Amino acid sequence: MKKIVFIVLVALIITAAGCAEKKDEKITEITIKGQSYVFSEDIWETLKVPTGSWTKINHILNDSEIQVVFDGTTTDNSYFAVVGYNIAFKLSRFRAWELREINFTTATLDNAIFDKPTVYMKGPNTGANETSVTIDNQTVIVQGTDFKNLTMAGDRLVLVVFGINDIGQI
């Protein structure tokens, strides 16, 4: 009996050590339905970015026409180009498995139409006061206080649509 308890205890310790070791491991790639998705930042860190209601985010992004809005100044445009492309590319591939297309259009703040499904990106020089994914009516606001944080917020939005809130869901 003592031998069995000892073996079980050793197995639990090894399992716990393995789980702890995995947290130190940087994860930047996941596979869903046979498709590989590569993320710019560590998914462990990305999952810490706060989000608004998953139901509302998915309702907004379930539309076939999504407008991506940004400030339009040259200050953060290069950030928005990278993050916007990553969002559009990943979500388009993901929806293709559902035999659905998404048409992403871009607009600057001065010509945006906010009564349709919108992803509004805010960068460090264009209004971001935190790193988060939030909701305001039909608009999902993706903001980051620097390029890395904006990238993580964009990736967090993608993970919400993928239904991933925990590393164990990968």
Q: Please give the pLDDT value at position 2.
A: 52
- Residues in contact with 113: Cβ distance below 8 Å, sequence separation at least 6, in sequence order: 67, 107
The helix-helix angle for 147-162 and 54-61 (nearest 10°) equals: 90
Q: Evaluate whether residue 7 is within a structural domain.
A: no
- Residues of the chain short of pLDDT 50, as ranges, are 4-22
21 in a domain, yes or no?
A: no
What pLDDT does 10 receive? 38
Output the pLDDT for position 167.
Answer: 82
CATH of the domain at 96: 3.30.379.10
Give a yes or no: residue 2 inside a domain: no
Decide if 9 is inside a domain: no
Residues 6+ apart with CB under 8 A from 129: 143, 145
33, part of any domain: no
DSSP state of 43: H
Residues in the chain: 170
Select from 99, 90, 88 the least CA-distant residue to 29: 90
Over residues 15-58, the pLDDT tens digits come to: 444 444 445 789 999 999 899 999 999 999 999 999 999 999 99
Examine residue 92 and state whether it is found in any structural domain, yes or no. yes
In a domain, 34, yes or no: no
Number of folded domains that form the chain: 1
- Considering the entire predicted model, what is its pTM? 0.84
Residue 81 falls inside a structural domain = yes
At 1 the pLDDT is: 53
pLDDT confidence of residue 99: 87
Q: Which domain holds residue 60?
A: 46-164
